[in-house]
Structure 1
Amino acid sequence: MSWLEKLTPPGVQKMFSKRDTPENLWVKCPVSGEMVFHKDLEAGLYVTPAGHHMRIGPDLRFKFTFDGDWREIAIPDVPKDPLKFKDDKPYTSRLSAARKKTGREDAMAIGVGNIGGVETTVLVQDFAFMGGSLGMAAGEGFIKAAHTAIEHRTPMVVFTAAGGARMQEGCLSLMQMPRTTLAVEELREAGLPYIVVLTDPTTGGVTASYAMLGDVHIAEPGALIGFAGPRVIEQTIREKLPPGFQRAEYLLDKGMVDKVVHRRDLRGVLSRILRTLMKRTGPNPAAESESRAVALPDSREG
């Protein structure tokens, strides 16, 4: 304790004590290195001034996508550790840590609400939960979302974000690829639209299954989309890949993606697609809310 602190009355010390500062008060943009105030980042839908689309979880996805309120659908329960897998720590410990971090049971979250006045089933893959890896719970979540859409006669929109299959579940994880593919076929047989929004990153078995089976493929700017990563491909073929390889804009140019859409415009684009495919007429609530909203700066400016 310093001499000044000894002379200062306790009441005054308490008044001028150091206040706790939130750890996330400033966020560093991975592209420009600029420090962005978290309130400004939130106001910009978690897109930095340089145009980098930050990864976001299901709650924000639902908030940015639906016209208003939505209801969540529970993910079916699955065996927690079917293979009793252990590497440097037990699989159950990794699951517990991921659940504590995200507040969710697994990587998938299902919401049902209106987009442009069209009731829609939305599935969000959370990269924060073990890299959005595709395991039994994620597979069951996808199938549950598809069956919910079929039951209520709604289109289905999925936001993909994954590093691939979940190694701790072995072949049980790989089995989710054909299972989710069959669920997409059920949607098609029911005559319901299936829209995929590819976010950063979408790789591995997810890309090799339901992420590339949509009626329409939309991607967020700069999203990494592919099966194996660029580094693995370069090491395999021993050649330098072209600039922007496997990024959303590159894939748009090659015809793998139908449209690259800024996050601020995504709800409006989805609403127009869904209303067209579902043959809805009349006022578009999403378009009306957009016209009242304050325009965000274009990431290409400046």
Structure 2
Amino acid sequence: MNWINTVVRPKIRSLLTKRETPDNLWIKCPESGEMVFHRDLEANGWVVPRSGYHMRMPAKKRLETLFDGGRYEALPLPQVAVDPLKFRDEKRYTDRLKDARTKTGHEDAILVGRGTLDGLPLTAAVQDFEFMGGSLGMAAGEAIVTGLDTARTDGTPFVLFAASGGARMQEGILSLMQMPRTTVAVSALKEAGLPYIVVLTNPTTGGVTASYAMLGDIHIVEPGALVGFAGPRVIEQTIREKLPDGFQRAEYLLAHGMVDMIVPRQELRPTLSRLLHILTGRDAAVASTPEPVAAPAPVADERRAAE
């Protein structure tokens, strides 16, 4: 009886018990349906190896892969009023903020840091779509303005990685006020003669596109990214016409002159370094060039070669 209780029953129980696995162990490509192991996707810069689809990249990883050695100083950001309109729809706005902060580990949708890119001092901001759709509220507006003002004070270029669904409706007019505020901050940076480069990622829409995201000296877009003010479905319903294939996607925007270049994520860091050294008049050849923290592995090329 003792042998049955201590050996047989635990083994049977272990066979019948469902093993818990992480939710993100395997990730499905939205474009091809391909299932990709999470570690392979991360090693490839969150780009699906076979299809080349660019998944959303965590905000902190954006900064780590941008700056030399993954080292940067996170800028302290001003505190703003929480829920100034006492807004509530299906749930309280304060509850939504708590959920977003728990999910992402960030205070709001913008991270700002300063460091060096191939030896060139740089200030950069990343918009995190995972935090309430990267929506633009008072905290995000303050973060952008703080980043731009810091770049102007330090005399560094400013790089913005944009990803947003637009203004944050829970803050109403206070959210819309961030559009002119950030526009003024961008103008001040340009008056100081400092470069401002915007990297448009999927998606970048709404009030963000109508303000600081389309005011760069150079606009870079990742392959396949959706960029526009209103979404294609809303436009079709408004004009009652069928839109062209690929409308508002990166390739369509490049063909129609809305952006300057499409750059795959694996080539983004060296492209930014080259552009910023040209715009600042510094020679990239004499700048220190430490290896990036995690160079994307050429998974796709290796698999194609194997096939």
Tell me, yes or no, whether TM beats 0.5: yes
2:101 equivalent to 1:102? no
Q: Could you tell me whether the CA contact under 8 Å between 2:266 and 2:296 is conserved in 1?
A: no
Relative distance call for 1:288 and 1:95 in structure 2 (3 A) is: closer
**Residue of structure 2 equivalent to 1:66:** 67
TM-score by length of 1: 0.91
Q: Could you tell me whether the CA contact under 8 Å between 1:115 and 1:271 is conserved in 2?
A: yes
2:122 equivalent to 1:123? no
Tell me the CA shift for residue 22 of structure 1: 2.1
Give, as a single letter, the amino acid of the residue that structure 1 aligns with 2:142.
E
CA distance in 2, matches of 1:177, 1:293: 35
Tell me the CA shift for residue 198 of structure 1: 0.2
Q: Deviations over 1:32-87 (max 9, x none)?
A: 00100111101100000211111122111012211221110122100001111111
Describe the SS at the equivalent of 1:218: strand
Q: Could you tell me whether the CA contact under 8 Å between 1:264 and 1:296 is conserved in 2?
A: no
CA distance in 2, matches of 1:293, 1:42: 8
Q: How many residues align?
A: 298
**94-103 or 8-17, larger mean C-alpha shift:** 8-17
**Residue of structure 1 equivalent to 2:54:** 53
Q: Could you tell me whether the CA contact under 8 Å between 1:165 and 1:206 is conserved in 2?
A: yes
Please, which runs of 5 or more residues in structure 2 have no aligned partner?
none
CA distance in 2, matches of 1:289, 1:63: 8
CA distance in 1, matches of 2:204, 2:98: 24
**Residue of structure 1 equivalent to 2:198:** 196
CA distance in 1, matches of 2:52, 2:116: 27
2:279 equivalent to 1:277? yes
Give, as a single letter, the amino acid of the residue that structure 1 aligns with 2:218.
V
Relative distance call for 1:5 and 1:114 in structure 2 (3 A) is: farther
Please list, as runs of the form range in 1=range in 2, the aligned pairs for 1:248-259 lying within 5 A after superposition: 248-259=250-261
**Residue of structure 2 equivalent to 1:33:** 33
Relative distance call for 1:5 and 1:94 in structure 2 (3 A) is: farther
Q: Could you tell me whether the CA contact under 8 Å between 2:120 and 2:287 is conserved in 1?
A: no
Q: Deviations over 1:206-265 (max 9, x none)?
A: 000001000000001010000000000001111111111000111011111101000000
CA distance in 2, matches of 1:88, 1:63: 36
Q: Could you tell me whether the CA contact under 8 Å between 2:44 and 2:296 is conserved in 1?
A: no
CA distance in 2, matches of 1:152, 1:286: 21
Relative distance call for 1:85 and 1:15 in structure 2 (3 A) is: closer
Give, as a single letter, the amino acid of the residue that structure 1 aligns with 2:34.
E
Tell me the CA shift for residue 298 of structure 1: 6.2
**Residue of structure 1 equivalent to 2:7:** 8
CA distance in 2, matches of 1:70, 1:14: 49
Describe the SS at the equivalent of 2:45: coil
Describe the SS at the equivalent of 2:100: helix
Relative distance call for 1:5 and 1:138 in structure 2 (3 A) is: farther
CA distance in 2, matches of 1:91, 1:100: 14
Q: Could you tell me whether the CA contact under 8 Å between 1:268 and 1:287 is conserved in 2?
A: no
**Residue of structure 2 equivalent to 1:89:** 91
Please, which runs of 5 or more residues in structure 1 have no aligned partner?
none
**Residue of structure 2 equivalent to 1:23:** 23
Give, as a single letter, the amino acid of the residue that structure 2 aligns with 1:164.
G
Tell me the CA shift for residue 155 of structure 1: 0.3
**Residue of structure 1 equivalent to 2:178:** 176
Tell me the CA shift for residue 173 of structure 1: 0.4
Describe the SS at the equivalent of 1:109: strand
CA RMSD of the aligned region, Å? 2.6
